[in-house]
Amino acid sequence: MKGYIRQGQSMTDKQHTIDDDQGDRLLEIVLAALDDIKGVDIKVIDVRDLTSITDRMVIVSGTSSRHIKAMADNVVLETKRNGFPALGVEGENGSEWVLVDLADVVVHIMMPEIREFYALEKLWSVGGHHSDRSLSENG
């Protein structure tokens, strides 16, 4: 798909070629995939004004390493099924933190203790540019 990082490019060279409507659709797919597997405390942070690496970060907690892997697998499956293949997945094997890179959306799936320790929501809210959206129907 156009706009995704080609082999040889770095993450900071990402070029945004999908429009806002497609970005919103990708985000909807990600949120539905996480909700389907009962993601806990799902947050969306708009980082367009803070970095060129991605447009939005999604942060979600899981209840076990198995739950985290199931959410990551479902995000990859559903986004690919809808024409947004993942660029990469890091930390899959029994990890307490899995990252799914979809270029315009980066998904952080974490155990609550890891999420609290790294405090990504706080990190990306520096300077008052924080914009988050929570899912109200979290299981």
What kind of architecture, by CATH, is found in domain 18-126?
Answer: 2-Layer Sandwich (3.30)
User: 33-37, 65-69, 109-113, 135-139: lowest mean pLDDT where?
Assistant: 135-139
Task: Give 97's strand partners.
Answer: 110
pLDDT at 17: 52
What's the whole-number mean pLDDT along residues 110-118?
Answer: 96
What's the whole-number mean pLDDT along residues 83-93?
Answer: 93
Domain coordinates of the chain in residue numbers? 18-126
Question: Is the pLDDT at 49 greater than 60, yes or no?
Answer: yes
Question: Is the pLDDT at 117 greater than 80, yes or no?
Answer: yes
Distance CA 14, CA 129 (A): 21
Q: Are 100 and 92 in contact (CB under 8 A)?
A: no
Question: Is the pLDDT at 95 greater than 90, yes or no?
Answer: no
What's the whole-number mean pLDDT along residues 56-81?
Answer: 96
pLDDT at 83: 96
Distance CA 135, CA 44 (A): 9
Task: Give 101's strand partners.
Answer: 88, 106
Q: What are phi and psi of 73, to 5 degrees?
A: -60, -40
pLDDT at 82: 97
Starting at the edge strand that comes first in sequence, how are the strands of the sheet with 132-134 ordered? 88-90, 97-101, 105-110, 56-61, 40-46, 132-134
User: Count of alpha carbons within 13 Å of 81, Cβ hemisphere only?
Assistant: 9
Question: Is the pLDDT at 135 greater than 60, yes or no?
Answer: no
Question: Is the pLDDT at 131 greater than 50, yes or no?
Answer: no
